[in-house]
Amino acid sequence: MRKALGWLAVAVVVLSGCAGSAAKRNRDVDGLMQRYTGNVPGASLLVLKDGAPVVRRGYGMADLEQGVAATSATNYRLASVTKQFTAASILLLVQDGRVGLDDPVRRWLPSLPSAADGITIRHLLTHTGGLIDYEDIMAPDTKVQLRDVDVLHLLESTNRTYFQPGSQYRYSNGGYAMLALIVEKASGMSFQAFLHERIFQPLGMAHTLAYVQGGPSVDHRAFGYSEEGGGWTRTDQSMTSAVLGDGGIYSSVDDLARWDAALYDDRLLIDESRRLAFRPWTHTDDPTIEYGFGWRITGETLWHSGESIGFRNVIVRYPGHHLTVILLTNRNDPEPYRTALAVAALFR
């Protein structure tokens, strides 16, 4: 009996130590997220360890005007975190045998000028195509939001590239807009419908969508804000916010947990497709970072950030540790990447 009680005492001490450690870790997480707390534009944070959420909470407000708090179900504009879904769409079409990674882009978009002759789909995926930045050639007095096809029209009238395709890296939002149009051409579906039918619906991402005005509304929507003059001003949409391929998806950390889980097995992308997506194809303008298909690769991490007017987001995956940190925010500052790394360090 005494022996049994001795083991029980040891178990109580161990469990108490674990509880104390978990409580301290939660306090440390809240400390890192302090800037998002209160009546300010907020954030949603998810930490997944071995497929299970160890942190899942919201901070601050999703909608300041209506007093709506941020939660794990709040949907944020992902901005460039969208690019991994655009890349996955292309890989699904490669799996279907409809598209080849080395297809010339002009095979699918023949109205592009002759300067684009040497650009392939692989170049667009890795930001090595050299397309001119559409933000630099759009009219400064643009009053109607651009769509992906409008980006194509801008590029049609620009018969030059920054460099010979494949020779350099230059981050290209326009390249990912072209990929969305190729998805439409190859599938016969709108890009938003393809995402829904081939990715979001199969994975149970019930509240994730590529948002277009006049289409389905965004449930539990976070609105974007920028700090101006000591206060917060709603800055939710710009003239480029409706371009889908480079940044038009809205999602929550809860739905992105399902996406993260699918990247460990072949329920969506086969092993070869995932290998291609996560391969370091090119160096970037940061010597510590390489680029795959819609993913930045830094040492043991696969990650991508997303920034647009009023939103800053990041997903950081440590596949070797089966650890993921997803931090979505509806404000222009601070950038969340370093915070996500600090959070991850608490769970490694």
Which band of pLDDT confidence, cut at 50, 70 and 90, is reported for residue 8? very low
Retrieve residue 13's tokens: 């001490």
Looking at residue 140, what is its pLDDT? 85
- What value does the mean pLDDT of the chain take? 93
* Residue 6, pLDDT above cutoff 60: no
CA dist list (Å): 20 to 38, 45, 56, 348: 26, 21, 19, 17
Which band of pLDDT confidence, cut at 50, 70 and 90, is reported for residue 229? confident
Taking residue 250's Cβ as centre, other Cβ atoms within 10 Å add up to: 24
Which band of pLDDT confidence, cut at 50, 70 and 90, is reported for residue 117? very high
Portion of the chain with pLDDT greater than 70, in percent: 94
* Residue owning tokens 């009053």: 143
Portion of the chain with pLDDT greater than 90, in percent: 86
Which band of pLDDT confidence, cut at 50, 70 and 90, is reported for residue 20? low
Looking at residue 91, what is its pLDDT? 98
* Residue 235, pLDDT above cutoff 80: yes
Mean pLDDT of 9-21: 49
Rg, C-alpha atoms of the chain: 22
Which band of pLDDT confidence, cut at 50, 70 and 90, is reported for residue 79? very high
Lowest mean pLDDT among 32-41, 109-118, 137-146, 300-309: 137-146
* Residue 176, pLDDT above cutoff 90: yes
Mean pLDDT of 164-193: 98
Mean pLDDT of 278-292: 97
Query: What is the enclosing helix (H) or strand (E) of 177?
Result: helix 173-187
- Tell me the per-residue pLDDT of 48-73, one tens digit each, with 9 for 90 and over: 999 999 999 999 999 999 999 999 99
Q: Sign of the C-alpha dihedral, residues 223, 227, 233, 238?
A: negative
Q: Sign of the C-alpha dihedral, residues 157, 169, 317, 304?
A: negative
Looking at residue 278, what is its pLDDT? 98
* Residue 121, pLDDT above cutoff 50: yes
* Residue 12, pLDDT above cutoff 80: no
Mean pLDDT of 276-302: 97
Hey, is 24 helix, strand or coil? helix
- Tell me the per-residue pLDDT of 125-151, one tens digit each, with 9 for 90 and over: 999 999 999 989 888 888 788 999 999
Which band of pLDDT confidence, cut at 50, 70 and 90, is reported for residue 11? very low
Retrieve residue 330's tokens: 């509806």
Looking at residue 19, what is its pLDDT? 58
Query: Over the range 251-277, which residues count as b (16 or more CB within 10 Å of their CB) and which as e?
Result: bbbbbbbbbbbbbeeeebbeeebbebb
Is residue 340 within 8 Å of residue 312, measured between CB atoms?
no
* Residue 15, pLDDT above cutoff 70: no
**Class of the CATH-defined domain 41-345:** alpha beta
Q: What global pTM score does this model have?
A: 0.93
Domain ranges in the chain are 41-345
* Residue owning tokens 């940061």: 286
Looking at residue 215, what is its pLDDT? 83
Hey, is 210 helix, strand or coil? strand
Distance CA 221, CA 333 (A): 19
What residues does 297 pair with on adjacent strands?
290, 302
